[in-house]
Amino acid sequence: MTGRRVSGGDMPNFSRRTGQDASGIPDPAFAALLAAGTPPADPSAPMQHVADALAALRAAPASDEAAGKTAALAQFRQHVGVSSHPIRSRRRRPTLLSPLLSAKAAAVAAVAVVGLGGVATAAFANALPSAAQKFAHDTIGAPSPHASRNAHPGDNANAGHSGTPVGPNASGPAAFGLCTAYSNATQHGTAAQKAVAFRNLEKAAGGAANVASFCASVTHPGASATPGSGAPTSHPTGEPTSHPTGAPTSHPTGAPTSLPTGPPSNG
């Protein structure tokens, strides 16, 4: 081997630039070694050196390479660990199913939120018909229909107020959300079907068998051509309980209409 000398070489060594002649190893042998880590069947000495070196690079983790494990595990617990994801921690569940189930649960929740979203705004303004306001009070903590306005007892006639939980008016704006939830419960749930809302939906539809056709006629509240049915019969009274915070987003434009009089005071 007439390659680079270890010391005292005053001539530049050009052999490395031309490649192959320095080690006698052809490129395909390197390519195979890089890809699979397997040296040729009858390797030359230089080839064997390289194969050994690469094998050492691929060696199993050494103890001094595990120094940061505690810190990494602490990070992991904080961001991914069981404590922050209690629902995802059940490992008995088939792994493949879990994303599907989570996705489905998210979809149901999303539908419920969308179905209720517009209604919720109105509910907190206490502007829904009484039965719906009652539902909103029971489910999302909106003011009760009797709380802060002069109630019209007649509005509440259908609610059957007798101390037991009462579902929403299934023929009202909540029907869409109820239908969505109901169809999901009939496919996947058992206990959920016992909820008051579902019984009411069954009642409104005239039995479980009719729910499908009933729900088929229910339109998305947001897509309805006739939103609402008339103006609310009463209006909120009293001061609002919250006030805007933060700066206004628009500012006055134009010159002031009145000008200061007198000289500024010298402070």
Partner 1 sequence: MIGAGFAELLAAAQDGDEEAFTQLWLDANSALLRYLWVTAPEAAEDIAADTWVYAIRGLPRFRGDEAAWRAWLFTTARRRTVDQARRRSRLADVPIQDLPASRLPAVADPADVALEHISTRAVIALLARLPPLQAEVILLRVVAGLDTEAVARLVRRSPGAVRVAAHRGLRKLAQILTEAGVTL
Binding site for partner 1 (CB under 8 A): 1, 3-6, 16, 19-20, 22-23, 25, 27, 30-31, 33-35, 37, 45-50, 52-62, 65-69, 71-73, 75-77, 79-82, 85, 88-89, 91, 95, 98
Q: Which is nearer to partner 1, 91 or 243 (CB)?
A: 91
Residue 63 or 242: the one with the smaller Cβ distance to partner 1 is: 63
Q: 161 near 142, Cβ under 8 Å?
A: no
Work out how close the CB of 16 gets to partner 1 at its nearest, in angstroms, rounded to a whole number: 6
Residue nearer to partner 1 on the CB measure, 10 or 239: 10
Q: How far is the CB of 142 from partner 1 (least distance, A)?
A: 34
Decide: 33 and 50 in contact? Cβ < 8 Å: yes
Is the distance from CB of 174 to CB of 200 less than 8 angstroms?
no
- Quick one: which of 149, 113, 154 has its CA closest to 131? 154
Residue 114 beta carbon to partner 1: minimum distance, rounded to whole angstroms: 24
Whole-number Cα distances in Å, 39 to 32, 51, 86: 7, 6, 49
Q: What is the CA radius of gyration of the chain?
A: 37
Least distance CB 110 / partner 1 (angstroms): 19
CA–CA distance from 202 to each of 49, 179, 191 (Å)? 79, 10, 15
- In the bound complex, what is the minimum distance in angstroms from residue 54's beta carbon to partner 1? 5
**Residue 170: C-alpha distances to residues 45, 55, 61, 125, 162 (Å):** 84, 70, 63, 21, 18
